[in-house]
Chains A and B, each alone.
Chain A
Amino acid sequence: MSKVLIIAEHLNGKLNSSTARCVTCAKAFNAASIDVLVLADAVDAIAAEAAAIDGVNKVLTIANPANAHALAAVYAPQVVAAAAGYSHVLAPSTTFGKDLAPRIAALLGVAQVSDIAEVLGAHQFKRPIYAGNAIITVEAPATATLVATVRTASFAAAGGGGSAAVEALNVSAELPTHTRFVELQQGKSDRPDLQSASRVVSGGRGVGSAENFAVIYKLADKLGAAVGASRAAVDAGYVPSDLQVGQTGKIIAPELYMAIGISGAIQHLTGIKDAGTIVAINKDSEAPIFEIADIGLVGDLFVLVPELEAALG
């Protein structure tokens, strides 16, 4: 039977919902146990959040000032030490997990499965390749530790109500000093987080400028939605890079996704293919976005978006 270890993702003392999504993925393995590993400088509040996730058996913590920031080179040897006895090590397919998991896999000398989108068995998964143009079934050997990242958009977050035991872990691992955290520039925003929001309003090159993006923000605020963007909008400097949705940005699955002034390139679409309802507003009736939109509206966004915002009262 599988024993799964999930590496908790957290920031500013708060657990990221990606951890509970990994738990849902692990449940599909019919695992004998699902444990969560918290590496941080101050672990208690994070561990308490993890212990409350339904389905978690045990929360292991490694408190160390060196763990204040998620540096893969520092975390990886500790995870490897903690992973002894586990059949699976999972991390979310976020920039945190993508940075860390391959380093763990290489130290263990095993291959890594990226972006589990569906679980067929404890060692058999589906994952997208070629920007989601093909879905492959991958089999990993059952004889080795399986290291994988979980495509968070494919799994709902496990619920709360759990009360797992929390256990401090003592690992002996040599931690490198060759990698040092300098700073994190975080976009300050009261808006919902793009990766877990149930509604997202995205703008593309059609929005035209950073100033014009105000129409997108206004609509998003009316809907209580997170704001996203196409690569073109990020490259042009209209919005920061952490808003990019797509193959090489964030993969999301909100209930409602509104694509405004976005043409619908395959690299963008792969980031939203699991969205519930996709609404597209574009002045070009031939734009490829209309081929996949559930609801399409042709016209000038600078007329339609303020009108929509007003109509939502």
Chain B
Amino acid sequence: MKILVGYKRVVDYNVRIQVKPDGSGVVTEGVKLSANPFDDIALEEALRLREKGVATDVIVATIGPADCQAHLRNGLAMGANRAIHVVTADAIQPLTAARALLKLIEKEQPDIVILGKQAIDDDCNQTGQMLAALWNRPQATFASKVEINGGAARVTREVDAGLETIEVDLPAVITTDLRLNEPRFIKLPDIMKAKSKPLETIDFASLGVESGDHLKTTAYAAPAKRSKGVMVKDVAELVSLLKTKGLV
């Protein structure tokens, strides 16, 4: 069984992103970039399925600029068998990402595709669902537990009302939530080994993907600041303040 994992590079979650003073974008120069945390979870799940003998081949794929290679090497060091880098200098939107990933699916014929539920930069939460629709296959989003039984996957999903379990026939798209697993750390020898693992580069234009980048971002602004509050010395003062505000 073959698993394709979406492995996107994003601004590290610890970075407090700043909007440029002229509102033309956010400052990304010199900030730390890392794998999208949900994609590390996606890769970890794929690796565990391989270790359990369910899967044999784990491929990490990214669509991004030329300097994403080091990022993909991290995915290989974590344990992926090989990597695919679709090279584009442009910031693509989810529909385009989904169309490009579909091209990879057609080529690789994976049984399971695992993506993150959202990328923590754009916070779109769309790509997996779009990909499943275009592929005309099931989607199991926000997964916190995945069990493969033959030709089907039983997936527990973190939904607003609690935990929902669904069963989907394979092939299918799964998107990960935080509680699915805890990704492993990369060990030094694995970084060395990763250097010799196959990394294929594909020029985005050669995929023949019709752009779905229909949305235009016309302005960036810093969020409204909450005004500085007050510190109270004890519970009595807290209660009286809440009463003044009519909150209790």
Query: Are A106 and B17 within 8 A (Cβ)?
Result: no
The answer to the question of B219 belonging to the interface, with a C-beta cut-off of 8 Å to chain A, is yes
Query: Are B221 and A134 within 8 A (Cβ)?
Result: yes
CB contacts between A and B, total, < 8 Å: 254
* Residue interface bits B224-239, CB-to-A below 8 A is 1, else 0: 0010111111111011
The docked-state distance in angstroms from the alpha carbon of A276 to that of B138 is 40
Query: Are A96 and B238 within 8 A (Cβ)?
Result: no
* Nearest chain B CB to A261 CB, angstrom units: 16
Query: Are A107 and B133 within 8 A (Cβ)?
Result: yes
Query: Are B223 and A139 within 8 A (Cβ)?
Result: no
The docked-state distance in angstroms from the alpha carbon of A180 to that of B172 is 13
* Residue interface bits A82-122, CB-to-B below 8 A is 1, else 0: 00000000000011101111111111011111110000000
The answer to the question of A308 belonging to the interface, with a C-beta cut-off of 8 Å to chain B, is yes
* Residue interface bits B206-222, CB-to-A below 8 A is 1, else 0: 00000011111111111
- Can you name the residue of chain A whose Cβ is closest to the Cβ of B248? A312
- Can you name the residue of chain B whose Cβ is closest to the Cβ of A144? B214
* Residue interface bits A123-144, CB-to-B below 8 A is 1, else 0: 0101011111111111111001
Known interface pairs A112-B95, A267-B13, A295-B241. Does A71 touch B126 (Cβ–Cβ under 8 Å)?
A: no
| Secondary structure dominating the interface of A | mixed
Chain B residues whose C-beta falls within 8 Å of the C-beta of A247 in the assembled complex = 120, 123
The answer to the question of A223 belonging to the interface, with a C-beta cut-off of 8 Å to chain B, is yes
Chain A residues whose C-beta falls within 8 Å of the C-beta of B212 in the assembled complex = 109-111
Contact size range, B: 35 or more
The docked-state distance in angstroms from the alpha carbon of A102 to that of B98 is 11
Query: Are A94 and B160 within 8 A (Cβ)?
Result: yes
Query: Are A131 and B123 within 8 A (Cβ)?
Result: yes
Known interface pairs A102-B129, A114-B124. Does A235 touch B166 (Cβ–Cβ under 8 Å)?
A: no
Chain B interface: which of A33-41, A53-61, A165-173, A181-189?
A181-189
Known interface pairs A76-B133, A178-B138. Does A135 touch B223 (Cβ–Cβ under 8 Å)?
A: yes
Chain A residues whose C-beta falls within 8 Å of the C-beta of B213 in the assembled complex = 111
Chain B residues whose C-beta falls within 8 Å of the C-beta of A100 in the assembled complex = 129
The docked-state distance in angstroms from the alpha carbon of A111 to that of B127 is 10
Within 8 A of B (CB), among A30-76: 71-73, 76
Query: Are A184 and B133 within 8 A (Cβ)?
Result: no
The docked-state distance in angstroms from the alpha carbon of A308 to that of B235 is 6
- Cross-chain contact of B132 among A73, A144, A182, A256 (Cβ < 8 A): A73
Query: Are B222 and A135 within 8 A (Cβ)?
Result: yes
The answer to the question of A215 belonging to the interface, with a C-beta cut-off of 8 Å to chain B, is no
The answer to the question of B130 belonging to the interface, with a C-beta cut-off of 8 Å to chain A, is yes
The answer to the question of B188 belonging to the interface, with a C-beta cut-off of 8 Å to chain A, is no
Chain B residues whose C-beta falls within 8 Å of the C-beta of A307 in the assembled complex = 235
* Residue interface bits B148-184, CB-to-A below 8 A is 1, else 0: 0000001001111111111111001000011100000
Query: Are B19 and A134 within 8 A (Cβ)?
Result: yes
Query: Are B164 and A105 within 8 A (Cβ)?
Result: no
* Nearest chain B CB to A104 CB, angstrom units: 8
* Nearest chain A CB to B233 CB, angstrom units: 8
Query: Are A11 and B161 within 8 A (Cβ)?
Result: yes
The answer to the question of B245 belonging to the interface, with a C-beta cut-off of 8 Å to chain A, is yes
The answer to the question of A268 belonging to the interface, with a C-beta cut-off of 8 Å to chain B, is no
The answer to the question of B125 belonging to the interface, with a C-beta cut-off of 8 Å to chain A, is yes
Chain B residues whose C-beta falls within 8 Å of the C-beta of A105 in the assembled complex = 95, 126, 130
Known interface pairs A102-B125, A111-B94, A290-B231. Does A130 touch B241 (Cβ–Cβ under 8 Å)?
A: no
The docked-state distance in angstroms from the alpha carbon of A137 to that of B220 is 6
* Residue interface bits A236-269, CB-to-B below 8 A is 1, else 0: 0000111000011010000110000000001100
- Can you name the residue of chain A whose Cβ is closest to the Cβ of B164? A184
The answer to the question of B74 belonging to the interface, with a C-beta cut-off of 8 Å to chain A, is no
Known interface pairs A241-B179, A267-B13. Does A131 touch B229 (Cβ–Cβ under 8 Å)?
A: no
The docked-state distance in angstroms from the alpha carbon of A124 to that of B247 is 35
Query: Are A103 and B248 within 8 A (Cβ)?
Result: no
Besides the contacts A102-B128, A256-B248, what 8 more A-B pairs have beta carbons closer than 8 Å?
A105-B126, A129-B123, A134-B17, A290-B231, A295-B229, A295-B231, A308-B235, A312-B248
B residues neighboring A (CB under 8 Å):
11, 13, 16-19, 26, 38, 93-95, 98, 117-118, 120-134, 136-142, 144, 154, 157-169, 172, 177-179, 212-223, 226, 228-236, 238-239, 241-242, 245, 247-248
Query: What would 16 A/B residue contacts be, using CB atoms closer than 8 Å?
Result: A71-B166, A72-B141, A76-B133, A105-B95, A106-B134, A129-B122, A130-B11, A131-B13, A133-B19, A134-B221, A135-B223, A138-B217, A242-B163, A295-B230, A297-B232, A307-B235
